Amino acid sequence: MSKIKRINSTSDVVHEVRYGLKGVLLYFLPMPVLIAAIVSLVQGNFWKTIILGTSFAGFTLAAVIARYGLKIESSFERKKFARAPGTPYKTVAALILAITTGLTAYFATPQSIFSSVLMGGAALLGFMFSYGLDPRKDKTGGISLGVTAEEVIDALEAAEIKISGLETARRNIKNLEFKRRLDRIINKAREILKVIEDDPRDLQRARKFLKVYLSGAERVTRKYAQTHQREATTDKLDANFSRVLESIEETFNTQQTKLKENDRFDLDVQIEVLETQLKQEGM
Residue spans per domain, the chain: 10-131, 149-281
Distance (Å, whole) CA 59 – CA 100: 7
Name 82's bridge partners.
Answer: 139
pLDDT value at residue 42: 93
pLDDT in tens, 68-121: 999 888 888 887 777 788 889 999 999 999 999 999 999 988 889 999 999 999
pLDDT tens across 191-250, in order? 888 888 877 777 777 777 777 778 888 888 888 888 877 666 678 888 888 888 888 888
Q: How far apart are CA 200 and CA 214, in angstroms?
A: 18
| pLDDT value at residue 81 | 76
Amino acid at site 77: E
If you average pLDDT over every residue of the chain, what do you get? 81
Q: Residue 190: CA atoms inside 13 Å, Cβ hemisphere, count?
A: 16
Phi, psi of 112 (to 5 degrees): -75, 170
Angle at 32 between CA 103 and CA 70, to 5 degrees: 75
